[in-house]
Structure 1
Amino acid sequence: MCEGSLRVRFPALVGALAVACTGHSATKTSPPPKPVDYVAMGDSAAAAPKVPDPAPPPGCQKSTNDYPSVLTRRITPARFTDVTCSGAATEDITGQEQLTSSGPVPPQIDAVTSETTLVTITIGGNDVGLASEASQCRATSINAPPCADKFVTGGVDRISAAITAHVPVWAAMIDDVRAKAAGARIILVGYLTYIRPGGCFPDEPVTPKDADYFQSKLNELDDRQKQLAVDKHIDFFDTRPLSVGHDMCAPPDQRYVEGFIAVHPAAPLHPNAMGAAAVGNALADYLR
């Protein structure tokens, strides 16, 4: 239908058909994608303390090979700001200076601007006292009284109660980030699998009951944040599946998390370089 008697009776239609047949119609072009401006926030699970090499400020015990840095080398953002800091709680992200051994650091959210397009956050362990409590539960015997029993009083689990109490705190944090960077993709990055069912006493000095208890509390924290991410229409990146079999009980060359005594350059009970690399690379694949 590109020629013939239509020319006389329907000149406008013929003109339109001519454009269609010759392929010279104007096409809309999408604007170029906005350059990635990435801000990483969080605690020591993100900062990877004592993993070479140290990044400033020294008081945050942050590594140049933490998972945000690994991710950055994969996605090459136009701008990367890593404000993760060991010891951080949610209030150090949203509201107050964090006091460190090298002086105070500003609230992490100060790094977020209207130009920010990607934000990762790992937070919560210090809010509910998981790291500090677990570090005090070393057992000298597999038959030692479980440390976990002291966290339950009158049928109330203290750590579970703290997790529940912090869900609205984490929700407010997400709202604060969104208020500063309305178009940013926000990803809550969960905690790794730290220890397998039953633990591995005596390789790691924690009783089977305590091993299961502390991992269950990490799972509870991750699961509550996962649901919060759904409620807030943001992402939750679950690192537990990728770290199964790579917990502190794994052989040293397969271990993503250090045990009570670190065998790699990393802080005890924290991710090592392999763990940070695994999370950073998995996040890069997730963002494709």
Structure 2
Amino acid sequence: MSRRVRTALAAVLAAVLGAVLLPGAARAATVNYVALGDSYSSGVGAGPYDLSTCLRSQKSYAPLWAAAHAVTSFRFPACGGAVTADVRDSQVGQLSSTTTLVTITIGGNDAGFADVMTSCRFGSTSSCESAVAGAKTFATATLPGRLDATYAAIRDRAPNARLVVLGYPRLFETGSCGLLAMSSYKRTILNQAADVLNGVTAGRASAAGATFVDARPAFTGHGVCAADPWIRDVSGVIEAYHPNANGYRYGYLAALTAAIG
């Protein structure tokens, strides 16, 4: 028997023995994924929704990522309207020492996202400025402690998991947008507020040893007032200023996949 034939047979034998002796869990990485967070994780804006009050959609980035990666298990407690305390009190119970991946968007509701958007969409320029200033102050002064406590609670419940914190997109393009739209100035200062929130979130995620995924680049050119918007305007009251199905797939999912595979 030639050396080449012996080498080939040895390689085949090794492959066969490996397939027989190694259980499936050893040959393929186990991924136990839990998606926490607020409406930007539950999928508000994408629809259709489950029967809970959390407005969870299978078109959100989390179930899309889970389906694409054939995960071992997937839990989806993310809930529209959630604040950091809700994550700590109601969502981290889905975690365990066997959890290997956790994703989360959180902090926007703590900073008064809905009230700020209402003030700017329907109020005066001065009321918008005041609301934005208040949200930015909260984001820099109070939110860091809440984020730290939330990430610590996740680490405590899921010590073996990779924690991935996703940020928020800028919601608006600032060019011409029609007579009934918010002014370019309002849209600009709202985008600036999103930048502040993302900066704070990125900093606290880094301090917690988490991976921060910046969603802003993926959404660039697709905000409200774009030719192809991935963010809903006020046409849907509950869904206003949330990603649509394309936003979750081509914005959030693309950003998450680029960051972690």
Query: Could you tell me the TM-score, scaled by structure 1's length?
Result: 0.76
Aligned residue runs from structure 1 range 1-288, under 5 A: 32=27, 34-57=29-52, 59-95=53-89, 107-138=90-121, 145-151=125-131, 157-164=133-140, 165-197=142-174, 200-202=177-179, 204=181, 206-251=182-227, 254-262=228-236, 267-278=239-250, 279-288=252-261
CA deviation after TM superposition for structure 1 residue 55, in Å: 2.1
Q: Which runs of 5+ in 1 are unaligned?
A: 1-22, 24-28, 96-106
Question: Structure 1 counterpart of 2:96, which letter?
Answer: T
- Describe the superposition over 1:194-250 as per-residue Cα deviations: whole angstroms up to 9, x where unpaired: 01236735352x122221111111110011111112222110000000100000111
In angstroms, what is the RMSD of aligned CA positions? 2.6
CA deviation after TM superposition for structure 1 residue 266, in Å: 7.9
Quote the sequence identity (%).
26
Question: Structure 2 counterpart of 1:137, which letter?
Answer: C
Distance in 2 (CA, whole Å) between partners of 1:134 and 1:266 is 12
Question: Structure 1 counterpart of 2:41, which letter?
Answer: A
Question: Structure 2 counterpart of 1:268, which letter?
Answer: A
Other structure's SS at 1:188 match: strand
- Would you say the 8 A contact 1:49–1:267 is kept in 2? yes
- Would you say the 8 A contact 2:214–2:255 is kept in 1? no
Query: Could you tell me the TM-score, scaled by structure 2's length?
Result: 0.83
Which has more strand, going by share of residues?
Answer: 1
CA deviation after TM superposition for structure 1 residue 84, in Å: 1.0
Which structure's CA Rg is the greater one?
Answer: 1
CA deviation after TM superposition for structure 1 residue 33, in Å: 5.4
Count of residues in correspondence between the two structures: 239
Shift in alpha-carbon separation, 1:114–1:199, aligned structure 2, 3 A: farther
Distance in 1 (CA, whole Å) between partners of 2:122 and 2:116 is 13
Other structure's SS at 1:150 match: helix
CA deviation after TM superposition for structure 1 residue 280, in Å: 1.6
- Would you say the 8 A contact 1:199–1:211 is kept in 2? no
Q: Which runs of 5+ in 2 are unaligned?
A: 1-9, 11-17
Distance in 1 (CA, whole Å) between partners of 2:175 and 2:203 is 27
Shift in alpha-carbon separation, 1:180–1:145, aligned structure 2, 3 A: closer
Which has more helix, going by share of residues?
Answer: 2
- Would you say the 8 A contact 1:201–1:207 is kept in 2? no
Distance in 1 (CA, whole Å) between partners of 2:137 and 2:161 is 31
- Would you say the 8 A contact 1:44–1:85 is kept in 2? yes
Distance in 2 (CA, whole Å) between partners of 1:257 and 1:50 is 8
